[in-house]
Amino acid sequence: MGTRLAIISDIHANLEAFEEVLNHISNQSIDKIICLGDIVGYNADPSACIALCRERNIFCLSGNHDCAVCDKISLSDFNRTAAIAIQWTKHHLSKEDILFLSQLPRFHQEGERFLLMHGSLIDPDRYLFFQRDAVEDFHEMTHMYPRIAIGFFGHTHQRRVFTYRSGDVTSGVPETLTFESDCLYLINPGSVGQPRDSIPMASYLIYDVDKQSIRFYHVKYDIQKASEKVIKAGLPKALAERLYWGW
């Protein structure tokens, strides 16, 4: 996939945020963009976001919202607001869009370099919020992928670096990180289209494979425009409001 990778996740049909992130990435000499899933859901531009993923040849995983619009996951697994948005999204995608989403993988192993997942290694729809959640994933990584030290995940919409060293797991939100050879890492780039760490900006990271380092970025976007589109589309008002809080 190259040596400088942009890793994004949870675009959630927020075209304004997605375009700004792509602009930011275009100035960073990136070889490949990877999306960890949830291209659609919550916001008002699902089809345009799918089109951009295809145009820019972004390597995409499938998230739980992408699966739900393809009827691969039951709506009963979602809260009411999310389920309403999924139903709305289904009616605003073409057959081609649905086909594209339905063919995305839920997990990817990039040789012996790194793993890509939406939620967790154990279950793609499981949330990794806390150290205790990450412990199980590190055990799975050690047993199933003994030569791989790095996994990227999304789903929580929160930036996170979990580090496993000599049986202990620590959690942090650094701006930059250089990997150490005696550690394992699980890393979340944050969300492009619906951040939930109280910072109302799009979040992503760049992974420099040669330098074995990552750097996180926040990107400003036109929240008012994205929010007004949500209202105009008839989607739940709470989805428009939360963009201002970054939660």
Which residues contact Fe ion by CB under 5 A?
10, 38
Minimum CB–partner distance for residue 10 and Fe ion (Å)? 4
124 vs 133: CA distance, rounded Å: 13
With residues binned 3-state (H G I as helix, E B as strand, rest as coil), the percentages for the chain, rounded to 5, are 35, 25, 45
Nearer to Fe ion, 151 or 195 (CB): 195
> Which residue has the closest beta carbon to Fe ion?
38
CA distance 164 to 183: 5
CB nearer to Fe ion: pick between 12 and 163: 12
d(C-alpha 240, C-alpha 233), whole Å: 10
Instruction: Work out how close the CB of 109 gets to Fe ion at its nearest, in angstroms, rounded to a whole number.
Output: 22
Smaller CB separation from Fe ion, 35 or 219: 35
Residue closer to Fe ion (CB basis): 4 or 196: 196
| Minimum distance from residue 213 beta carbon to Fe ion (Å) | 26
CB of 121 to Fe ion, least distance (A): 17
Burial 228-240 (b: 16+ CB within 10 A, else e): ebbeebebbeebb
Task: Tell me the C-alpha distance between 99 and 96, whole Å.
Answer: 5
